[in-house]
Chain A
Amino acid sequence: MDQEQDKFRIWKRRAILCAVPAFLLVSGIDALPDPIAPKGPLRSVQIRTGQILGIWQGPWSMYAKPSVKYLWLSADFYDEQGIKRDTWNSPYWQEVSGVQKFVQFRHMNYYIRMCSPLHREAAADFANYMAAQRETELTGELKVELFANNLELTLPAEGEILDPDEFVWVTESRQLYDPWADVDLEALAEPPPITWPRAKLP
């Protein structure tokens, strides 16, 4: 019995001695910044292993590339006749209190992610969700046109530290979801309305 226990202990020890360096390798490669991370099959194996075990992490940039960008979403609601019935804007986080920022931290992350062109399908889901929330017997079926808006500070080259008065801010508005995408609207090829909700220079 004691011998069996000893055997178990030895095998457990050996397993730990292999598992810890393996963890170090998988996590270490995973956390390497993109420019120096290895590419190819090793990377792919490491990523899959991390995902299956639930221990993936990715590089820790922590403001390594500071981009001063204020992002917010806006939406226009149209009824079946194409009449604009309502508009909506996501919070402008500069104006939100500290407590609200804490409680709505997930919303902040979500709206920022939604502004990325990588999440087109998620934008469609969000537009449909909002339409479903606002539909009533009076409005009938609603269509939502979703926009990503941003106000970005152009960083100077050569590490210059500019005075706030010299900052150059660039604004942009992009359509994220077009409810009429499936409909042939070429005849009505009018550009979508651009909204500038509460756009303020900081």
Chain B
Amino acid sequence: MKEKRSWSAFFEAWLFDGCALQTCALLRVGFGLLVLVYGLVWLRDAHFWFSNQGVVSVETMTANQPATMWSIFFWVEPNPGFITICLTIMLLNAVLLTLGCFGQLQAAFIFFWLVSFQNRNSLIGDGEDSVFRLFAFFLIWMPLDRCYSVTRLLEPVASRIPRCSEAAWPIRLVQIQMAIIYLSAACSKMLSPTWQDGSAVYYVYQMHDNFGRGPLPAFLMETEWLIRLTTWGAMVVEACLPFLLFFSRTRCAGIVLGIILHLSMEYSMHLFLFQWIMMLGLLAFTKPEDFTWFRRWTRKHNPYQADPLPQHRMLALPGPKTSDEPLEMEEIEESGGVPTSEDDFIEVEPEDFFPR
């Protein structure tokens, strides 16, 4: 008879299960690139927004914010030179994060800069700034450099930490945050009369400053039932996404549906980097098997790659039995295609690699 697991045991297992190191690397690279674009746009008008010769003084900002909001620019005079130096350091942190050079430290620095700059002038920010700040906070706790990173590349092969899986709780924080965003948005919409009656999308469409990026077929906003269906559809998708994403059977469908939702919004609206950071957040729901499947698929469909040797295929993750993640090709090549110790093997079924 199966033993029934308590909620606390389930929760503990959920937090400390293995996470895909590739997911962490994916979030690291994606976030690093987005912060780079985000910071470059800030840099263009940095003195205008943040310096003491800019549009808003530190005194005005501190007077209008609670004392609990902090920023380095409330303690150090934000003269234009200092602002440029700080932003340049942030961009450097973003580059190093993307490359995977002491990723967690870079994420901590980026978090510090984001809080400081966002609080220095909160008049230019919106929801996406919160997502960037929160993601930087979550990345501080993730094993960011354990694959596809400069740090790993520079480590001698012999002294490398085995690529066993790490506790999943930092990734869970990202997942919880994504669920909170969708549920909060769906809840706000359900309380709004224009979303209840199905007319909201039509009126959002009239906001020509934000909307109207890509051309939409005219009938879409001329047919009443289609307008109401689109409005309710968007609301239902937002409400269902958290549930789809957390159940293993619907997880992939949830990720695809979410990406379609954000791509369609990116096509039709001007919202800077919001849709891209949200799509990155959806990728936090990927699992190790997605990467294995993707790697197999690319190998199968790559006509330029010779069929790897069978012995390579039999190599798998060394160490703990918590993951069945296979070694990367470059690691196999570095070790001359042969295992360095007995631990480099785990038992695998031939069917895993040679499907009938």
Contacts and interface: CB of A to CB of B under 8 A. Distances in A.
Interface in A81-110: 93-94, 98, 101-103, 105-110
Contacts of A7: none
Contacts of B167: 16
12 contacts: A20-B172, A24-B176, A28-B180, A35-B191, A48-B68, A51-B68, A55-B134, A98-B270, A110-B55, A121-B60, A122-B56, A159-B197
B45 A33 contact: no
A13 B168 CA distance: 12
Contact of A65 (B57, B194, B197): B194
B209 A93 contact: yes
A64 to B, nearest CB: 4
A58 B130 contact: yes
Contacts of A114: 123
A28 to B, nearest CB: 6
B139 to A, nearest CB: 13
Interface string A132-151: 00000000000000000000
Interface in B144-199: 167, 169, 172-173, 176-177, 180-181, 183-185, 187-189, 191-199
B69 A51 contact: yes
A58 B130 CA distance: 9
Contacts of A24: 176
Interface of A: 13, 16-17, 20, 23-24, 27-28, 31-33, 35-36, 47-48, 51-66, 68, 70, 93-94, 98, 101-103, 105-110, 113-114, 119, 121-122, 124-126, 129, 153, 155, 158-161, 164, 167, 202
Interface residues of B, number: 69
Interface string B208-237: 110001000000000010010000000000
A16 B15 CA distance: 9
A32 B181 CA distance: 10
B74 interface: no
A54 B118 CA distance: 10
The A interface, classified by DSSP as helix, strand, loop or mixed, is helix
Given A109-B124, A159-B198, A159-B199, A13 B16 contact: yes
A121 B63 contact: yes
B45 A129 contact: no
B305 interface: no
Contacts of B238: 62
Contacts of A153: 203, 206
B33 interface: no
A56 B184 CA distance: 14
Contact of A109 (B125, B173, B196, B207): B125
B187 A36 contact: yes
Nearest to A34: B188
A4 B312 CA distance: 39
A103 to B, nearest CB: 6
